[in-house]
A = this chain, B = another copy of it.
Amino acid sequence: MEFSSKLLEDAVNEVSQLPGIGKRTALRLVLHLLRQPASQTHDLATSLVRLKDTIKYCKDCHSISDAEQCDICANPSRDGEVICVVEDIRDVMAIESTAQFKGRYHVLGGKISPIEGVGPQDLTIEALIERLKSGSIKELIFAMSSTMEGDTTNFYIYRQLEGMDIKTSTIARGIAVGDELEYADEVTLGRSILNRIPFENSMKTQ
């Protein structure tokens, strides 16, 4: 791609560094910004820089937060005895939107992945263990993605819990609500049979 303007080329190159955005899309986005009022570009740039420069992570759960402690950890009506371990803030948002979980979170910041060069020390696992040692926590819920990396991360943490009196669980895997059996993959269907639950429990509504 040959540019007639160095400024344009720089902007396109920077935008195309974002994941899933190629040069063509980057050019389309940049040309769009050029057609909009200058304030839009300024607001976009300012909000990104301000977020990056002043971002804080909650001292307890390591989720993104504007204060030293996030709203969930600071909320006294949340159950401090149950902690749900998730990969990133998107998972917190997803679980919060169900309104089914009243405990607190621990955001690992990723999952163990030797291929991508992410080891346990790159995550907030040590902080989690410290948190657990503090004593008041009774249950840990693993809510990682059901992938090789997710399972590895769960297992790595699980092994660190030896000797601690902490109950562990993982979120249920099974057929999604509203899905047809015939289209489910065998692994999921197999697991959902192995981990069947009492029928009365399935009648519980939100």
- Measured CB to CB, the residues of A under 8 A from B are 1-8, 10-11, 13-15, 17-21, 25, 27-34, 38, 40-55, 63-66, 70-72, 88-90, 92-93, 96-97
Contacts and interface: CB of A to CB of B under 8 A. Distances in A.
5 shortest A-B CB distances, which residue pairs? A45-B45, A41-B52, A14-B44, A11-B51, A11-B47
A10 B96 contact: no
A66 B6 contact: yes
Contacts of A19: 28-29, 32
11 contacts: A4-B71, A4-B92, A7-B66, A8-B55, A10-B51, A14-B48, A18-B32, A19-B28, A19-B29, A21-B29, A38-B53
B34 A55 contact: yes
Nearest to A13: B47
Nearest to A24: B90
Contacts of A51: 7-8, 10-11, 30, 33-34, 41
A102 to B, nearest CB: 16
Nearest to A90: B27
